[in-house]
Structure 1
Amino acid sequence: MWALQYTPKVVLSANDALFAEVSSCLRLWGGFRKLSKRLDEEACTFDLAQASWGPNPFAGLCLSHADVRGARTATLASVLDGLPVECLVDTNAVLPTLNQLGCYTLGHLRALPRAGLSRRFGRTVLDALDRAYGTLKAAHSWVLPPDSFTTSLELPQRVDNAGALLFAAKRLVLALCGWLAARQAGVTAITFGWLYDTMRARDVEAEGELVVRTATATRDPAYLMRLLGEHLDRTVLKGPVNTVKLGAAQLDAIPHPDGVLFPDKVKEGEAFEQCIEVIRARLGASSILVSALQDDARVGHLQRWDEDSGTTRMALDIPPRWPQPTWMFREPLRLLVRGNRPLYQGPLELLAGPHRVNNGWWDCHRQGGDGWQRRDYWLARSPSAGNLWIYRELRSPAEGDWFLHGVFS
């Protein structure tokens, strides 16, 4: 599954080897050197012993057995001729006889008469030799990604700390991202679980699980590992763990960013949404608040802050007829009045109004609130403070008093 993100042509052989045909996708990964470096870095996670390159998979297998990095087509025969004969698959049974004949390298084996070699050892050795040198083609059954993804990994030793499970999770996450790339999809939710050891307490369940959600569909292993790490840092294990498992809970297609073959723009907002998910995982769901517009004539009640649930917020269909202040006071400021004119850094000039608000009677029972409002709002101008948003109270006990509620930038 891990290798499928680099090429759709992957084969698992009977010799504990993984074959991946990458010649058709080298440009996609920036060339041979970059792809080779990336594969080497990730192969360590899967305990792969040796990675080698060759014009065909069987030549690469021979090179890996001899700890040779690789060989090109032009130099393949000369490189293989110098390898020990035991590097060739299917020769273990006849290896003592070949050594008695003085045949120690593949070059020695290739120099033997083919007819006599076939009569003595059958076609198995000759076919293996021809496949390694590329003179005999072989058909492969490519690995197909399954419809769903779930995998598990048995730990080499019991783990008591949830944070230590992240190291074992890396192998599972890389396999998941390979499967997602083959499916051209991303995850919006994954399940990471663990099985407790039989030495656990009697009141502890057999397994535990946590669900990790993402803001957008992704198959970025670094982001998934970071998000999973934040969740595991807040998790307390109830006993020793001996097995971890990973599954794709929710999938979503990842369309091409702009419908062109080679995009030159990064999707806007993606990094911000990932940052929000990390904050939510670290501080909890209540740490992320979003503003929700309300269909309310009271200026202080037009917006409400709720926990982000991912639902669509209501938008006002009709814009307000009156200008809204840029900044509002938490508590309205009572104004002085002289000659029936409110004062704030000098006499105020009433520019527009009144805009009457008579609303919120259902909230009049709230203690210490400004639920039921009966006010006349005015747009006023101060010679020093600029444009202001003031109102005159129409309800007792402050009826007739003037208040400053907001300012315009």
Structure 2
Amino acid sequence: MRWLAWLPPPIELQGGAALQPGAQGWWALRFTPRVALLEEALLLEVAGTERLWGGPAALRERLREQAPAHRQPRFWAEGATAWQALALLRLQCADRPPPRRLPHDLPMDTLSALRPHAQALEHLGCRTWADVRALPRAGLARRLGAPCLVALDRAWHECGQPLPWITLPEHFSLEVELPALAESAQALLWTGQRLLDALQAWLRARQRGVLALELAWHHDLRRIDGQPLPPWQALELRTAEPLQGTQHLRRLLSERLAHQRLAAPVDRLALRSLQTAPLAPASHGLLSPGAGKAGEEGEPWHQLLERLSARLGAQCLRSPALHDDHRPERMQRWQPALAPAAPSRTAPDGRAALWPAWLVRPPRPLDLRSDRPCLHGQPLALLAGPERLESGWWEPPGAADGQGLARRDYFVAHNAAAGWVWIFRDRASGDWFLHGVYA
């Protein structure tokens, strides 16, 4: 096992208790599902996920970049167990060098269970974990208690170490206390940004985007000028598309707060999600953002389409669009690039995932040899099929592209000269046709 330990910034408290236990570890759930808060540190078990991020070095670099306190990358430690990683982190924070042998030479004060007994153990000549472990277990248990032995066994990974794993709530809701009373709406922005950062970590871990959220603030006074005040005041933000980034949300929040007047000084701030939606990972475009000249940023794809359509004409720039038809050659049509896509009325055909990406237009007739279809002079072996298709009955024979009613049996075929191909037999005429080629 491989454990990484990180020292998070102080947790906001209200009434002496943490407002949201584990909220500071939400961002780490993007990298591994095994994240826990152990005493003052955040622990990540990454042995099962580090290969997905390109190896240990690449994962550590990503963690340093995306950790909320990435400006202090020295406060990272790595160990074979959670307690070893925590001990090494404590040494780093105290500017003490790591020992040569792990975990044998770790100082006693780096293990919390041994700290109350440090003076008694020093009188026995113990300075490190190995010195304590070398003492007779029965006598050590009578003098120090069983928890010390259990802690040492867990540090050596000789027994299980149950940890309170961090889990994400179903809905985001976070409340913090302001460091000072806010008397203007713009003064809420600094703490509001911290709430937005926590929201972003929650959205990324759940792979969702926010569509609506509510920012609320609590009044420090109950009455002003003899008039009762509501305890909370709130505003609602909505976005046209699911978002994870905080820059646009902060801009919206700043504009809304600029027109907001606080009824009284504010002492607490709360943020909760009202509506979220699944957010698919963004796919990269064919044109990179830096495709322009040196020192210039590239043009967004939709702006490029708008500019070219305006220059060349709407009919000169086309893009493929899905069409409601079961015949492979009619499943898409070319339309003006800026034309709105028509909603599909039929469910996608799951069988299309096994069809070739390259279709032959129009289908090419195949020769027969001993009732077997041939391509490039060699017979084709039928390896999968038949897959029956009947469609186009509403069109007259000879209709453009569709050729009216299509009654076909499709097969996956192969020979040494042509490779893997997709062919069909016309059930009306009995002829064979080549309709697709597999890459």
Q: Which range, TM-score by smaller chain?
A: 0.5 to 0.7
**Counterparts in 2 of 1:204 and 1:149: CA distance versus 1, 3 Å:** same
Mapped pair 1:21 → 2:48: no
C-alpha separation between the residues in 2 aligned to 1:222 and 1:191? 17
RMSD: 4.0
Select the residue among 227, 237, 240 that pairs with 2:265: 240
Contact 1:51 1:69 in 2 (8 A): no
Mapped pair 1:37 → 2:61: no
Mapped pair 1:112 → 2:135: yes
Mapped pair 1:130 → 2:138: no
Partner residue, 1:196? 219
- Name the SS for the 1:52 alignment partner: strand
Q: CA deviation at 1:49?
A: 12
The residue correspondences of 1:229-308 to structure 2 (distance < 5 A) are 229-257=254-282
Amino acid at match of 1:18: L
Q: CA deviation at 1:5?
A: 3.5
Instruction: Give the gaps of 5 or more residues in structure 2.
Output: 1-22, 290-298, 302-338, 343-439
- Name the SS for the 1:248 alignment partner: strand
- Name the larger-Rg structure: 1
- Name the SS for the 2:101 alignment partner: helix
Select the residue among 82, 102, 108 that pairs with 1:57: 82
Contact 1:63 1:69 in 2 (8 A): no
- Name the SS for the 1:94 alignment partner: helix
Contact 1:151 1:247 in 2 (8 A): yes
Q: CA deviation at 1:27?
A: 5.6
What are the Cα deviations for residues 210-256 of structure 1, in whole angstroms up to 9, with x where unaligned? 11222211122344334333333443322211100000011111124
Contact 2:36 2:166 in 1 (8 A): yes
Contact 1:5 1:179 in 2 (8 A): no
Structure 1, 101-110 or 244-253: larger mean CA deviation? 101-110
Structure 1, 249-258 or 104-113: larger mean CA deviation? 104-113
**TM-score computed with the length of structure 2 as normaliser:** 0.51
Partner residue, 1:228? 253
Select the residue among 225, 230, 236 that pairs with 1:205: 230
Contact 2:221 2:264 in 1 (8 A): no
Q: CA deviation at 1:130?
A: 2.7
C-alpha separation between the residues in 2 aligned to 1:120 and 1:264? 67
What are the Cα deviations for residues 46-83 of structure 1, in whole angstroms up to 9, with x where unaligned? xx99553323222122223333599xxxx987254444
Mapped pair 1:166 → 2:193: no
Contact 2:200 2:244 in 1 (8 A): yes
Partner residue, 2:7? none
Contact 2:222 2:229 in 1 (8 A): no
C-alpha separation between the residues in 2 aligned to 1:267 and 1:192? 36
What are the Cα deviations for residues 339-389 of structure 1, in whole angstroms up to 9, with x where unaligned? xxxxxxxxxxxxxxxxxxxxxxxxxxxxxxxxxxxxxxxxxxxxxxxxxxx
Contact 2:173 2:270 in 1 (8 A): yes
**TM-score computed with the length of structure 1 as normaliser:** 0.54
Mapped pair 1:215 → 2:225: no
What are the Cα deviations for residues 378-406 of structure 1, in whole angstroms up to 9, with x where unaligned? xxxxxxxxxxxxxxxxxxxxxxxxxxxxx
Mapped pair 1:7 → 2:32: yes
Partner residue, 1:98? 121
**Counterparts in 2 of 1:177 and 1:204: CA distance versus 1, 3 Å:** same
**Counterparts in 2 of 1:111 and 1:40: CA distance versus 1, 3 Å:** farther
Contact 1:169 1:244 in 2 (8 A): yes
Contact 1:5 1:177 in 2 (8 A): no
C-alpha separation between the residues in 2 aligned to 1:250 and 1:272? 28
Partner residue, 1:380? none
C-alpha separation between the residues in 2 aligned to 1:49 and 1:168? 26
C-alpha separation between the residues in 2 aligned to 1:238 and 1:267? 49
Contact 1:19 1:57 in 2 (8 A): yes
Q: CA deviation at 1:153?
A: 0.3
Partner residue, 2:171? 148
Q: CA deviation at 1:195?
A: 0.4
Q: CA deviation at 1:89?
A: 2.0
Q: CA deviation at 1:22?
A: 3.3
Partner residue, 2:107? 84
Q: CA deviation at 1:183?
A: 2.3
Q: CA deviation at 1:38?
A: 2.5
Report sequence identity in percent: 32
Mapped pair 1:178 → 2:178: no
Partner residue, 2:366? none
Aligned length, in residue pairs: 265
C-alpha separation between the residues in 2 aligned to 1:22 and 1:164? 40
Partner residue, 1:66? 91
The residue correspondences of 1:306-317 to structure 2 (distance < 5 A) are none
Amino acid at match of 1:134: H
C-alpha separation between the residues in 2 aligned to 1:203 and 1:49? 51
Q: CA deviation at 1:35?
A: 2.3
Partner residue, 1:394? none
Instruction: Give the gaps of 5 or more residues in structure 1.
Output: 274-313, 318-409
Partner residue, 2:144? 121
